Structure 1
């Protein structure tokens, strides 16, 4: 195999690899919001609380709340909820230091929030508070942390892949040259 054929095969491999991992696009479309009581029935946990920390990891936003009042599914003083970090993908955009009424659903053991739920600022939640009545204070005091796990960043993994591929190409060319010179 000559160098031109090898270069062509490498180019073909790189092109195929890039095209094999297209980016996914999402669009958010919500139906008409449910009533507070219906949303309460269909949610895993409903609470009000203040955002005290956030962590973005990939396309997921982790939000840590100091829970003030709970109506369903939660009795801890803090809660971590997940949402997609883009409103165009139905993710809810929380602001640090603001208080919200939060309607969550459990997916794979995690509480998730969607833009399509009744989650919104507590200051604009008078209808919800009227319909839901008085909630309960959390009974269990916990301290949660959003520290990032020890996962290697994507750029590091891609760099290792490129270096490995480069070494394979280098040794492949060296091997071909050795055969040609014999």
Structure 2
């Protein structure tokens, strides 16, 4: 009986370890900034808890309004982001409605995710030194863009058109490269055939001359 109890306790410990998220140490400000897709200050204005994952886990959808960005651009009238989180003891950060946070978010398909292992926290708990360093990182990242800055997208349709256009141009470049390579190969092949032809011609000629001399 005692063995059965110990075995059950052992299984419970294993299962709890599966769902428990252990964050031994949070990354530095610079490390977290580099790992994140977007870093910003935002206020949670809506929480939807009626969602479920593909495995039946309860999910939370947080609508966040950005007031300041430290990584990635925030275009005009595009201040809102959706952050998805899963319940059941996952590593996902749990936000409270109406509160303002400094958020280190990672892109997850068409939405964002946020881990409790990141430096994400209530804005009131963030030290001013962290915000100053984030400002510096953001300014440096903008300078490293070779002076090219997109001020805003005209609309989402134009953005999609530009993506398709760029993709088409890349395909044309690859097609041109293939044509150049094939042309070069054809030239080399023709050159080799000419060499073989003249070589065989010389061999044939020398063979006829030797036969003539033997006669």
Q: Does TM, scored on the shorter chain, surpass 0.5?
A: yes
- 1:74 positional shift: 4.2
RMSD: 2.5
Structure 1 ranges of 4+ moved more than 3 A? none
Match for 1:51 among 40, 44, 51?
44
Give the aligned partner of residue 31 of structure 1: 24
TM-superposed CA distance for 1:36, in Å, is 1.2
Contact 1:28 1:89 in 2 (8 A): yes
CA 107–69 in structure 1, closer or farther in 2 if over 3 Å, else same: same
Structure 1: how far apart are the matches of 2:65 and 2:117?
22
Q: 1:37 to 1:125 in 2, by over 3 A?
A: same
Q: C-alpha separation between the residues in 2 aligned to 1:85 and 1:46?
A: 23
Write the mapping of 1:12-161 to structure 2, written as runs, cut at 5 A: 26-56=19-49, 57-58=51-52, 59-75=58-74, 76-86=78-88, 88-126=89-127, 127-133=129-135
- Assess, with a 3 A threshold, how the Cα gap between structure 1 residues 28 and 69 changes in structure 2: closer, same or farther: same
The gaps in structure 2 that reach 5 residues or longer are 1-17, 53-57, 140-150, 156-215
Q: Check the 8 A contact 1:101/1:120 in 2, yes or no.
A: yes
| Higher RCO (C-alpha 8 Å, min separation 6) | 1
Paired position in structure 1 for 2:196: none
More helix by proportion, 1 or 2?
Answer: 2
CA distance in 1: counterparts of 2:60 and 2:111, whole angstroms: 12
> 8 Å contact 2:81–2:111 — kept in the other structure?
no
Contact 1:44–1:105, Cα closer than 8 Å, also in 2: yes
Give the drift of 1:72: 1.1
Please state how far the C-alpha of 1:96 moved relative to its aligned partner: 0.9
Superposed CA deviations along residues 54-75 of structure 1, whole A, max 9, x for unmatched, are 1121222110111000011241
Alpha-carbon distance in 1 for matches of 2:34, 2:42: 19
- The 2-side partners of 1:71 and 1:112 are apart by 17
TM-score, L = length of structure 2? 0.48
Q: 1:48 to 1:128 in 2, by over 3 A?
A: same
Equivalenced residue count is: 115
